Structure 1
Amino acid sequence: MTDTTANGVTVRRSATDGYWTSDRAARRRRSRHAADMRLRAYGIVAIGLAILLLGILVASLISTGYTAFVQTEIAVPYRLDATEVGRDDPASAEFRDVVRSSIRAAFPEAAEENFRELEQMFTPSTHFLLRDRVVEDPSLIGQTVTLAFPASDIVDQLAKGQVDLELPEDRRRISDFQARVFQEMEERGLVATPFNWGLLFNSNSRFPELAGLSGAIVGSFYALLVCFLISFPVGVAAAIYLEEFAPKNRWTDVIEVNINNLAAVPSIVFGLLGLAVFLNFFGLPRSAPLVGGMVLSLMTLPTMIIVTRAALKSVPPSIREGALGVGASKHQVIWHHVLPLALPGILTGTIIGLAQALGETAPLLLIGMNAFTTSPPGGLLDASTALPTQIYIWADSPERGFQSRTSAGILVLLSFLILMNAIAIVLRNRLERKW
């Protein structure tokens, strides 16, 4: 600090006068502002890159999987003669002959040597589908009814523009005769492409045109139900004890470290544990949703404990102190005050943990939950598959028709994950309390 006198006036000057207005200070300000702008730009670029990659993923799935949500069907008049299809026991009739005779009558111009190619344009399970329709509605017996059934995979690909007819006949799966007949079918109005409800309500099949996700959806539901019934009460109880009752000593520190480590263990390790303990030691049935749910509960339990402890810690200490001050017991404080306030965070973490378990594949493959089942499981001990393992099976299948169904299965799985996360957000917003 210095004093200067000019014209009889004393002026006190600080050593920092001019510090904020000098050229050096201006350069520092510009440098800081540039650093702030670079940091903001890095964040925008990172978010944009993440959105771009997500958009590429979703676009690739939609571009390859949207065709699986429609199915080509061919309508043919089927003559259900009462002499061939008995009214007393229609299920025992030989519907394969009914289908062949109906196809011959619908396309009389086809030569005998081309009939096999004509028959291959229909799904090989047409006679089973016709049988099920007649068993469901016996009044059809004795009539000639026009019914639409799925076309074979090669015809379905042709209808969706996935077959290049410019290639030589020996380099494509569909023949010139079949392509010509399909064009005639379209001109006669026998071909339709409705929404493929079978993708959601059919079980797995060797034929792509009939394969669906019904068995996988039911199997995933059973597995997640078992996972929830085990991991939720055990995880919440363990978190309450560790957070509210357990003394802070070396043993509890070891337990907390191990819980945090288990949350980071790869899921395939839990699959090996389930294979060794549940299948080999206890002898539980292979491919059962019960075993799958128990393995998934082992995987989600550490996460459930960590999330619940974090929710309990978020409750202000004044809530506990106020309840204890009016004479409530420790049990009453936790059950009537702390737990209800922590419930939104607990439920949110639980749903997110279940969503993570829904997308796990490796542990389910190790316990054999990739069985080929033609009907949904009827219980927890029936052989079943799950959504991620069903997608894996389709991706490994050589038939081209399963390629689009693989992408469609991923879209269905992502829809369930988005729905579960949306439910978690809604529950958190509706149950969250302000204090």
Structure 2
Amino acid sequence: MTDQRSQAEIVRQSLKRRYRKERRFRFYGIAAIGVALLSLVILFTDIIGKGYTGFIKTTITLDVVLDGEVMYLQDAADPEQLDMADFQAPIIRALQQYFPEAQDRRDVRELSRLAGSYASNQVRDLLKAQPELLGTTQTLEFLAHDSVSVYVKHADNPSYSIRLSEQQQRWVDQLVADGVIDTAFNDVLFSRGDSREPSNAGILGAIVGSLLTMVVTLVIAFPVGVAAAIYLEEFAPQNRITDFIEVNINNLAAVPSIIFGLLGLAVFIGLFGMPRSVPVVGGLVLALMTLPTIIISSRAAIKSVPPSIREAAEGIGASKMQVVLHHVLPLAMPGMLTGSIIGMAQALGETAPLLLIGMVAFIVEVPDGFFSSATVLPVQIYLWAGSAEQGFVELASAGIMVLLTFLISMNALAIWLRKRLERRW
């Protein structure tokens, strides 16, 4: 009887230890999830906190007198006179209507720095397009200088250094109170290419460059990857050669992306002489990087098709090619699409291989073709993050938010396609 009680006690103690271990394991799992979620919240809070102001632009609205004498311009239709005219002068005169005391050279210089450096170009383009406006008064909206924009949006934030003089700050405060300086949605961010001045910089060029690069990547990687997966899974004999190929495909999936950039630099640019910084070369490099992921996911999708499907098709006389094309491929396509979209999302966020093939260039114009000079979103963010101007800090965070939106959308599309198209047997 004593032995039975001691055995029961041993069992109870053992169960208690097991239950304690199980509770500890659950706690560790919950703690790990909590740490991951906390890190994600901190990351998104930091990005959104720095980047939401990137979607806001600061503007100055002025009644500008297009006086030919002030601009040294008699005929706005004459290209030579347009090249020699002073288009900054009417903007300064418009600002002096609010600050008539600003007359000496130093005050005029500081006053001229309130408007962005492209304001004079805006007046020039207006007169070039409509020469008849010379001598009239026009209400024009200019982008404020980057220092003014930082002051308006971050005056109370000590982490941002204000580069305006005390006099300029008083002027800006008065213009804000008068409604001359205002903030609005930053449509410039989505309508222009890169610029040396943050207030004029946009990501449209990078978005178009990314889309063109992804088109090249998809057109090359998806059919080649699916064809390779079908051959290896359905037609290739099981021998040392196919085993060697499979091992190398799995190894390529783990190769650092910068290696593919070196390969593209050596082969596409060095050997074939293709131009740098064009979507075609970027798409070829990313296609090589994405191929292993697409092949592996496509093979897994083909393996998930039950053997009974193949046996039933062969039983009614279908050839091997008909079995694959008419039965196996349609059933495996949802998994193939999911893996391909995830691979494309990974390629969209890559920077290292594209830096090596020259897609780090300063691109102002929006690319209009696959052989036009272009950059991509991750590289544009990289360039902005390394710039000294504070305005580029918020633009880099805003670009990260745009990139994350694309990545999350692509992953959501992959999940939706998998749920929508998957078959259950």
Task: Provide TM-score, normalisation by structure 2.
Answer: 0.92
Q: Partner residue of 1:24? A: 10
State the shift of 1:81 in Å.
Answer: 5.4
Question: Would you say the 8 A contact 1:90–1:134 is kept in 2?
Answer: no
Q: Partner residue of 1:234? A: 224
Q: Partner residue of 1:9? A: none
CA distance in 2, matches of 1:125, 1:348: 45
CA distance in 1, matches of 2:80, 2:178: 31
Task: Provide TM-score, normalisation by structure 1.
Answer: 0.90
Matches within 5 A, 1:27-176: 27-80=13-66, 84=73, 93=82, 97-108=86-97, 109=100, 110-113=102-105, 114-133=107-126, 143-162=136-155, 173-176=163-166
State the shift of 1:221 in Å.
Answer: 0.8
Question: Would you say the 8 A contact 1:163–1:172 is kept in 2?
Answer: no
Taking structure 1 as reference, are residues 137 and 233 closer, same or farther at Cα in structure 2, changes over 3 Å only?
A: farther
SS in 2 for 1:371: coil
Deviates more, 1:421-430 or 1:23-32: 23-32
CA distance in 2, matches of 1:32, 1:211: 61
Taking structure 1 as reference, are residues 192 and 136 closer, same or farther at Cα in structure 2, changes over 3 Å only?
A: farther
Question: Would you say the 8 A contact 1:230–1:294 is kept in 2?
Answer: yes
CA distance in 2, matches of 1:97, 1:81: 11
Alignment-mate amino acid for residue 410 of structure 1: I
Q: Partner residue of 1:252? A: 242
Alignment-mate amino acid for residue 384 of structure 2: W
Q: Does 1:348 align with 2:334?
A: no
CA distance in 1, matches of 2:77, 2:163: 42
CA distance in 2, matches of 1:351, 1:137: 48
Question: Would you say the 8 A contact 2:59–2:182 is kept in 1?
Answer: yes
Question: Would you say the 8 A contact 2:77–2:128 is kept in 1?
Answer: no
1:31-51 Cα offsets, whole Å, 9 max, x none, are: 222222111111111111111
Question: Would you say the 8 A contact 2:150–2:162 is kept in 1?
Answer: no
Deviates more, 1:369-378 or 1:130-139: 130-139
SS in 1 for 2:154: coil
Q: Partner residue of 2:312? A: 322
Matches within 5 A, 1:201-216: 201-216=191-206
1:81-103 Cα offsets, whole Å, 9 max, x none, are: 58958575789736963442243
Q: Does 1:413 align with 2:403?
A: yes
CA RMSD for the aligned pairs? 2.5
State the shift of 1:325 in Å.
Answer: 0.8
Q: Partner residue of 1:277? A: 267
Taking structure 1 as reference, are residues 162 and 370 closer, same or farther at Cα in structure 2, changes over 3 Å only?
A: farther
Taking structure 1 as reference, are residues 331 and 150 closer, same or farther at Cα in structure 2, changes over 3 Å only?
A: same
Alignment-mate amino acid for residue 404 of structure 2: L
Aligned counterpart for 1:220 among listed residues 210, 220, 229 = 210
Alignment-mate amino acid for residue 191 of structure 1: I
CA distance in 2, matches of 1:89, 1:237: 62
CA distance in 2, matches of 1:233, 1:383: 26
CA distance in 1, matches of 2:142, 2:74: 19
Alignment-mate amino acid for residue 156 of structure 1: S
User: Highest CA radius of gyration, 1 or 2?
Assistant: 1
Structure 1 unaligned regions, length at least 5: 1-12
Alignment-mate amino acid for residue 145 of structure 1: Q
CA distance in 2, matches of 1:322, 1:146: 76
CA distance in 1, matches of 2:155, 2:389: 13
| Count of matched residue positions in the alignment of Structure 1 and Structure 2 | 416
Alignment-mate amino acid for residue 93 of structure 1: L
SS in 1 for 2:114: coil
SS in 2 for 1:160: helix
CA distance in 2, matches of 1:382, 1:216: 12
SS in 2 for 1:193: strand
Alignment-mate amino acid for residue 89 of structure 2: R
Alignment-mate amino acid for residue 293 of structure 1: G
Deviates more, 1:257-266 or 1:145-154: 145-154
CA distance in 2, matches of 1:252, 1:173: 65
Question: Would you say the 8 A contact 1:95–1:128 is kept in 2?
Answer: no
CA distance in 2, matches of 1:393, 1:276: 24
Taking structure 1 as reference, are residues 23 and 271 closer, same or farther at Cα in structure 2, changes over 3 Å only?
A: same
Taking structure 1 as reference, are residues 243 and 95 closer, same or farther at Cα in structure 2, changes over 3 Å only?
A: farther
Alignment-mate amino acid for residue 145 of structure 2: S
Identity score, percent: 52
State the shift of 1:421 in Å.
Answer: 0.7
CA distance in 1, matches of 2:134, 2:211: 39
Q: Does 1:197 align with 2:197?
A: no
Q: Partner residue of 1:296? A: 286
State the shift of 1:80 in Å.
Answer: 3.6
SS in 2 for 1:209: helix
Alignment-mate amino acid for residue 142 of structure 2: F
SS in 2 for 1:124: coil
Taking structure 1 as reference, are residues 312 and 133 closer, same or farther at Cα in structure 2, changes over 3 Å only?
A: farther
1:182-224 Cα offsets, whole Å, 9 max, x none, are: 1121122101110111112210000011111111111111111
